[in-house]
Structure 1
Amino acid sequence: MDDKDIELVLPPGPRTVLHWFDFICPFCYVAQPRNQLLAGYGLEVVHLPFQIHPDIPPGGIEAGPRNGAMYRSLEQEAAKAGLPLNWPPRLPNSRTALSASEWVRRHRPEVSDPFNRALFAVHFDLGEDLGDVNVVMRHATAVGVDTAALRAALADGDAQTALSEAESAGGWAGVQATPTWLIAGETISGLRPEPEFELLARQAIEQAE
């Protein structure tokens, strides 16, 4: 991806933060308050989809047990953020949902955030199948998206191309896992503590001024 292509995917601006995520990533789910923190400092957070498990088949796979310190930590983070966390029994292929997310970001940016929140809730709260296009469309309708246009974009591959471009931009930025942020030229991977994000936000604002 060259600089011209990157500009088509990523809006420029000294206060812009890029955030790559996947709807089936629990760290991304509980990181939502981190993004709110960055926005609270006056930064524009651009949410870009990035499929972390493209190997999952269309019908999904069994998730297996969620035991151990990592899962307890995630549950504590979710409780702290006031986010329901009901571990789903299966992991879906998230490519359709991520493609829809990127299409909505480009064509209906004013409803992109609520649409993303809804699709996170589909997987981690509501017990619905994120891999089911009808589930995605129902939540798209709820936020006011023209689902006929979205279905057409999924059918002809335009939405999937948009996702691939967002992922290519992630590769350009060095994204290897989710969540990953690009803040003031620095790539930040993983769920860092809130005080570290506050420091990063202040540094980004100082650099932009």
Structure 2
Amino acid sequence: MKIEIWSDYVCPFCYIGKRHLEEALHQFPERDQVEIAFKSFELDPNAPVDTDMSIQEILSKKYGTSLEQAKNMTDSMTKQAATVGLDFRFDTSIPTNTFDAHRLTNYAKTKGKETELTEILLHAHFTLSKHIGDKETLVRLAEQAGLDAEESQAVLEGDEFTQDVRADEEEARQIGVQGVPFFVINRKYAISGAQPSDVFLSSIQKVWEEENQTDSLQPLGTDGMACDENGCDVPPSKS
């Protein structure tokens, strides 16, 4: 079984969804038969590498809300992340462009290190407040994943793996990806958003049992929390 995941490193629900999937796989008896492949997706391809705006200021400007309302949004996502053991620190996170991070991940894929680097990049952005658009920072993070620093630097200074990123993004458009995270199982079934782990588990079990019985992507579960080019939808808090 192969699960392909379109996601971005500045998408909070991509990290939360990753944890939900991992929880589901932990309960899946045939988890050693599951291959995970990460696919590139930029929420904002035009985002600057460097900005003096905080994430709250960016959200406030984007949605035409007050800074306090924007902070409430990030606080809500922080609480949701905590339920799966993630420590989001939006107050110190550094908004940036993720194109080079995606190129670097495609390089990591050629070395069998994409899983390690993906986790490191998400953790670096959301918890450690690292600048994952900065090339020097990316090289250091690549080293943590076991990649060669000089090779990583050469990739980042050139234009290698640009077409790989663009191919993933074009493929996302072709199959109708509207937001991330977006999971495709065996090229036949789709799960949109950061679904709860039990939804992932039941979906994986269903696919395992019905493998090769359909020719088109089939939606599984309801729409979960996701991010698109317009931002990240945050469901209203339950009182």
Does residue 207 (structure 1) correspond to residue 199 (structure 2)? The answer is: no
Q: Cα offset for 1:180? A: 0.6
- In 2, the alpha carbon distance for the partners of 1:199 and 1:84 equals 27
Amino acid at match of 2:106: E
**Superimposed CA distance per residue, residues 117-158 of structure 1 (whole angstroms, 9 cap, x where no aligned partner):** 111111111111111111111011122212222222333312
Tell me, what secondary structure is at the counterpart of 1:137? Answer: helix
1:17 aligns with 3
1:101 aligns with 105
The 5 Å alignment of 1:177-188 reads: 177-184=179-186, 185-188=188-191
Contact 2:94 2:129 in 1 (8 A): no
Tell me, what secondary structure is at the counterpart of 1:81? Answer: coil
- Structure 1: 5+ residue runs without aligned partners? 1-14
2:50 aligns with 59
Q: Cα offset for 1:84? A: 1.3
Contact 1:28 1:178 in 2 (8 A): yes
Which range moved further: 143-152 or 95-104?
143-152
Change (3 A) 1:173 1:153: same
User: How many residues align structurally?
Assistant: 192
1:6 aligns with none
- In 1, the alpha carbon distance for the partners of 2:78 and 2:54 equals 20
Alignment RMSD (CA, Å): 2.0
Change (3 A) 1:39 1:102: farther
Structure with greater helix share of residues: 1
User: What percent identity do the matched residue pairs reach?
Assistant: 22
Q: Cα offset for 1:72? A: 4.5
Change (3 A) 1:86 1:171: same
Tell me, what secondary structure is at the counterpart of 2:6? Answer: strand
Does residue 46 (structure 1) correspond to residue 49 (structure 2)? The answer is: no
1:80 aligns with 83
- In 2, the alpha carbon distance for the partners of 1:188 and 1:199 equals 11
Which range moved further: 59-68 or 113-122?
59-68
- In 2, the alpha carbon distance for the partners of 1:46 and 1:34 equals 16
The 5 Å alignment of 1:120-199 reads: 120-184=122-186, 185-199=188-202
TM-score by length of 2: 0.73
Q: Cα offset for 1:115? A: 1.2
- In 1, the alpha carbon distance for the partners of 2:118 and 2:54 equals 24
Q: Which one has the largest radius of gyration?
A: 2
Q: Cα offset for 1:39? A: 3.7
TM-score by length of 1: 0.82
